[in-house]
């Protein structure tokens, strides 16, 4: 039996998850979360939090998520917009030195994607594409428990397929999926269509659509058509075995995911439409991904089963 | 030393290529081509052609291309639009029985792509995406000498990324890259723009553009913009190490590939733009791919070098 610790060091909360691994099966032991330690003493505070959480248990390895750009070979954080104090550090080595436990860092999006693919909605499939619909739109193709990162670490950017359409995207291109469906863009588009400056959120648009607001419904209709096109393009280019959709916008399935899936089915021609499933691990996906990273760092194993949910 | 035979059984010509393999290096021995044998006795005639070509040389293995849908596990041809007599046959087994040489079949597009990736324009790179711009637009992602086929054998269809734009595509969707750039579509679009029914070809459009025809230039401009968008989407989704562009339309680089590459560079934002190179093996790519298939069937080797061009 092995005890594996997942540390999901997020922008506002740090989530701790202890799991037991036996014969390829993971079992949840306990969880805790706390405000994310910030600033120059953050690694000391994170180590203290972790020691308290572990108490008398001795973890065999940990995985630690990094919200930023991580150089996998060196373990160094190149940039982190929300955690500047991590830049230039190797956070897994810092935590390992303080705890006396071996560990490995993993980019937060990668952790979430491998967790959903291996333990969540994609479990049992070898070939899973995970989309995260949030403020931005991210994607990761997970095959046999590993993310396919591409030749320069840039693969999976399904939010930025170029259509050359009219809507300017934050990435500088025009007509990206994210420019129509990104969380902040939905609110801004609705405000613009109504000629108001209300800083509406995506949730505001969904609630207005539920109340019968025609403008909100038209904006969501355009966004779900764009998402359907993105899903069809994904099938054409990568042909995944399962598609998993998570992120904040996946919490309004009746207005975003369900219509997009319905349109994708209706408009599919030559495509093999795979199962398209909502993400299942919620806000604990990153911590489970950190546990999988810990397991892999110990034994090279990327494919574990999970016996129970958190 | 091993003697490997490539048989590229194309729609109009069958191309034969004998190569010598020694310590991971392939050397061209000789080539020949002839009209493709047709009808129920085609396999007998193909075997006779091959025996004559080999003369006193004894090939250790052969690879045989199939123009159609091949079930790799069984080696059976499911459908072949141009060679109906192959349907339901296992052509490599048929040829093997007649020649007394072990061999393996490979889909023609796969053969072309692995040849360009391993021996042609992509040689030396691990991660190559090969586009074929012809009547239709095909693509294949070749990693370490193997094509990534996706969960249902459908990956790489870069010609059918869905934009939802206006132009109806042969695949049934709207706004695909192929609907703007496919060889037959270029001619049809030019004819339609001029209000004539001239059954123009892509070459006619290129020649007209060279003569200064403004309509032809506008149509090619739109097509190369679509190709640039396709290349940027490919970088976003798959992030290949090298992009190779072949097929008939790649023979007019000044009007098709060069402007598209220039636009892709100009419009790239977050993308890692890899080298984008014209295909190099020309009409012998399929035969070289068959030779690579023969090598792989013998030794499991997918990465060979080539000492000279045909």
Domain assignment present for residue B249? The answer is yes
B/e letters for A95-128, b = 16+ CB within 10 Å, e = fewer, are bbeebebebbbbbbbbbbbbbbbbbbbbbebebb
From residue A198, alpha-carbon distances to A189, A208, A286 in Å are 11, 13, 33
Both structure tokens of B127: 């991660």
- The better pLDDT of the pair A136, B309 is held by A136
Numbered residues of chain B with Cβ closer than 8 Å to any chain A Cβ: 126-127, 139, 149-158, 160-165, 171-173, 175, 225-226, 228-229, 232-242, 267, 269-272, 274
Residue from the list A152, A158, A172 with its beta carbon closest to the beta carbon of B269: A172
The string of pLDDT tens digits covering residues A50-84 is 999 999 999 999 999 999 889 988 999 999 988 99
Q: Is the pLDDT of residue A308 over 80?
A: no
Q: Are residues B200 and B256 in the same domain?
A: yes
CATH assignment at residue A144? 3.30.420.40
Of A136, A131, A134, the residue nearest A116 (C-alpha): A131
Residue from the list A154, A160, A161 with its beta carbon closest to the beta carbon of B161: A161
Q: Collapsing DSSP states into helix, strand and coil, what is residue A120?
A: coil
Q: Are residues A151 and A109 in the same domain?
A: no
CA distance B33 to B17: 9
The pLDDT assigned to B308 comes to 64
CA distance B152 to B71: 12
CA distance B68 to B25: 30
Interface contact flag, B152 A269, Cβ < 8 Å:
no
> Between the CA atoms of A91, A95, A97 and A101, what dihedral angle is there, to the nearest 10 degrees?
-120
CA distance A186 to A205: 7
Concatenating the DSSP letter of every residue in A134-172 gives SSSEEEEEEETTEE---TTS-TT-GGG-----SSB-TTS
Q: How confident is the model at residue A310 (pLDDT cuts 50, 70, 90)?
A: very low
CA distance B236 to A160: 6
CA distance A247 to A158: 14
Residues of A in contact with B235 (CB under 8 A): 154
**Range list of H helices, chain A:** 42-54, 91-99, 108-118, 177-181, 183-194, 202-210, 214-237, 257-267, 285-299
Q: Are residues B289 and B226 in the same domain?
A: no
B/e letters for B185-200, b = 16+ CB within 10 Å, e = fewer, are bbbbbbbeeeeeeeeb
Q: How many CB pairs under 8 A join A and B?
A: 131
Interface contact flag, A269 B173, Cβ < 8 Å:
yes
Chain A interface mutation, best of B141, B164, B232, B263, highest count of A Cβ atoms under 10 Å: B164
Q: Which domain holds residue B257?
A: 125-278
The string of pLDDT tens digits covering residues A104-126 is 999 999 999 999 999 999 999 99
The pLDDT assigned to A224 comes to 95
Q: Is the pLDDT of residue A220 over 80?
A: yes
Domain assignment present for residue B120? The answer is no
- The answer to whether B46 and B32 are in contact (CB under 8 A) is no
The pLDDT assigned to A81 comes to 86
CA distance A277 to A116: 10
The pLDDT assigned to A11 comes to 87
Interface contact flag, A274 B151, Cβ < 8 Å:
yes
Domain assignment present for residue A92? The answer is yes
Q: Are residues A233 and A94 in the same domain?
A: no
Q: Is the pLDDT of residue A309 over 60?
A: no
Both structure tokens of A153: 């670490």
The pLDDT assigned to A303 comes to 81
Q: Are residues B262 and B157 in the same domain?
A: yes
Q: Are residues B235 and B130 in the same domain?
A: yes
Q: Are residues B107 and B133 in the same domain?
A: no
The string of pLDDT tens digits covering residues A167-187 is 899 899 988 999 999 888 999
Q: Collapsing DSSP states into helix, strand and coil, what is residue A240?
A: coil
**Minimal CA separation from A301 to chain B, in Å:** 22
Domain assignment present for residue B132? The answer is yes
Concatenating the DSSP letter of every residue in B149-197 gives --TTS-TT-GGG-----SSB-TTS-BS-HHHHHSHHHHHHHHHHHHT--
Interface contact flag, A234 B237, Cβ < 8 Å:
yes
- E strand or H helix that includes residue B239: none
Q: Are residues A267 and A296 in the same domain?
A: no
Q: Are residues A105 and A183 in the same domain?
A: no
Domain assignment present for residue B108? The answer is yes
> Between the CA atoms of A233, A234, A240 and A244, what dihedral angle is there, to the nearest 10 degrees?
-130
Residues of A in contact with B128 (CB under 8 A): none
**Minimal CA separation from B143 to chain A, in Å:** 10
Of A162, A37, A146, A143, the residue nearest A94 (C-alpha): A37
Domain assignment present for residue A118? The answer is no
Residues of A in contact with B122 (CB under 8 A): none
- Parts of chain B with a pLDDT under 70: 308-310
> Between the CA atoms of A244, A249, A251 and A256, what dihedral angle is there, to the nearest 10 degrees?
-80
- Domains identified in chain A, total number: 2
Chain B interface mutation, best of A126, A152, A155, A162, highest count of B Cβ atoms under 10 Å: A162
Q: Who contacts B115 (Cβ-Cβ below 8 Å, separation ≥6)?
A: B281, B285, B286, B287, B288, B289, B291, B292
Q: Are residues B142 and B242 in the same domain?
A: yes
- In this prediction the ipTM stands at 0.92
Domain assignment present for residue B118? The answer is no
Domain assignment present for residue A119? The answer is no
The pLDDT assigned to B310 comes to 46
Q: Are residues A81 and A154 in the same domain?
A: no
User: What residue of B is the nearest CA neighbor of A140?
Assistant: B237
Q: Are residues B302 and B180 in the same domain?
A: no
The pLDDT assigned to B167 comes to 85
């Amino acid at each position: 039996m092995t005890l594996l610790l997942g540390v999901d060091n997020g922008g506002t909360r740090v989530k701790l998850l202890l799991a037991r691994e036996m014969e390829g099966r993971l079992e949840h032991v306990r969880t805790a979360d706390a405000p994310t330690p910030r600033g120059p003493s953050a690694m000391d505070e994170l180590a203290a939090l972790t020691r308290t959480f572990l108490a008398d248990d001795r973890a065999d390895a940990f995985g630690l998520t990094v919200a930023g750009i991580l150089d996998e070979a060196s373990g160094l954080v190149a940039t982190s917009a929300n955690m500047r104090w991590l830049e230039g550090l190797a956070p897994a080595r810092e935590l390992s030195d303080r705890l006396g436990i071996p560990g490995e860092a993993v980019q937060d999006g990668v952790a979430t994607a491998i967790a959903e693919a291996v333990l969540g909605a994609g479990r049992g499939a070898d070939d899973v594409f995970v989309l995260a619909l949030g403020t931005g739109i991210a994607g990761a193709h997970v095959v046999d428990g590993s993310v396919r990162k591409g030749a320069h670490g840039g693969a999976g950017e399904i939010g930025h397929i170029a259509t050359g359409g009219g809507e300017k995207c934050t990435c500088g291109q025009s007509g990206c999926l994210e420019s129509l469906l990104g969380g902040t863009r939905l609110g801004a588009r609705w405000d613009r269509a109504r000629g108001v400056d209300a800083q509406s959120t995506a949730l505001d648009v969904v609630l207005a659509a539920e109340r019968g607001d025609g403008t909100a419904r038209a904006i969501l209709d355009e966004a779900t058509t764009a998402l359907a096109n993105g899903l069809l393009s994904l099938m054409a280019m990568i042909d995944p075995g399962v598609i998993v959709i998570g992120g904040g916008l996946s919490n309004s399935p009746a207005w975003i995911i369900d219509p997009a899936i319905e349109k994708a089915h209706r408009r599919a021609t030559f495509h093999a439409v795979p199962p398209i499933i909502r993400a299942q691990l919620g806000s604990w996906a990153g911590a489970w991904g950190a546990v999988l990273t810990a397991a892999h760092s110990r034994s090279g194993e990327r494919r574990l089963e999970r016996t129970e949910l958190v």
